[in-house]
Amino acid sequence: MSDPIELDSYKQQIADLYSSRSSRYDKGDWHPRIAHRLIEYAKIAQGQKILDLATGTGMVAIEAAQFVGAEGRVIGIDISMGMLKQARQKAERLGLHNIEFQLADAENIDFPANTFDYIFCSSALIWMSDLLEALRLWNRFLKPDGTLGFHAFADTAFLGGVVTQKILEKYGVSLLLSKPTGTIEKCHALLQQAGFDQIEIEAEPDGNYINLEKAKGMWSGDGSFPVPGQHPHPSLQLTPEQLAQAKVEFNAELEKLQTKQGIWDDSTIFYCFGRKAA
């Protein structure tokens, strides 16, 4: 067991959110699929030392541990005790001895410089409070020639967020969501500024049609859940009446998007890799 850690209220909300989802997290097929794809692109090798930041239930960490073998070593860290509990149980069931999970904030960790061959951050970079500083910190822990691999999502991704964003703009509320890493160019620039070279970014269009009722459940404007990179939730500056009206407009906007197949819920992903510049 790791010692408890002190989190600010933004990170405590994220940790609580994921702990509450932790027992169901592995049930969908999307997260396992994209975590596996990140590892596939990475081409890690036996004997390597790997750090998986915001490891969650350990999808990337566990697959990496199976690859690197007994000579390799994997550390997975996360701020959510619930997610880590799932990760530890899975690793134990698989009898993996080359992996450890630690309760820690990915923006407040301290490893010796030049420690890891690979650092991953799967489906989680956007939650960091300061993306550029986080990438710079992680760069330091990579060995020379080591590689960082992470997912970013297109600024068209996640219907509920994109439509919430559009409606709240009219009320003077700007939600960042995937905007900071929402294009290949933005991801490239972030990696470059953080000291990475040999940058490779693979865009994979993804998504599916969902029905109107499900889409209406995706309103993320009421501030009850944390939003990436912004705390407190910017819509908390609106009155309850404004929020209720915004929700009505959100539903109306979704109705306009409806087609015979349903409403397209885009989840275009960027698989981003950068080598620690010499």
Ligand X SMILES: C[S@@+](CC[C@H](N)C(=O)[O-])C[C@H]1O[C@@H](n2cnc3c(N)ncnc32)[C@H](O)[C@@H]1O
Measured in whole angstroms, the distance separating CA 65 from the mean position of its chain's CA atoms is 20
User: Rounded to an integer, what distance in angstroms lies between the CA atom of residue 77 and that of residue 101?
Assistant: 6
State which residue, 129 or 242, has the beta carbon closest to ligand X.
129
According to DSSP, the β-strands at 269-276 and 142-153 are: antiparallel
Shortest distance, position 70 Cβ to ligand X, whole Å:
24
State which residue, 5 or 212, has the beta carbon closest to ligand X.
5
Shortest distance, position 119 Cβ to ligand X, whole Å:
12
State which residue, 56 or 180, has the beta carbon closest to ligand X.
56
Shortest distance, position 245 Cβ to ligand X, whole Å:
31
For ligand X, the binding residues (CB under 6 A) are 11, 14-15, 18, 31, 35, 54-56, 59-60, 77-80, 83, 105-107, 122-124, 127-128
Name the residue among 94, 81, 49, 90 with its Cα closest to residue 68.
49
Backbone angles phi, psi at 47, to 5 degrees: 85, 0
State which residue, 38 or 246, has the beta carbon closest to ligand X.
38
Q: Report the residue closest to ligand X, judged by CB.
A: 56
| Contact call for residues 102 and 2 (beta carbons, < 8 A) | yes
Shortest distance, position 122 Cβ to ligand X, whole Å:
3
| Contact call for residues 49 and 72 (beta carbons, < 8 A) | yes
* Both structure tokens of 260: 């015979």
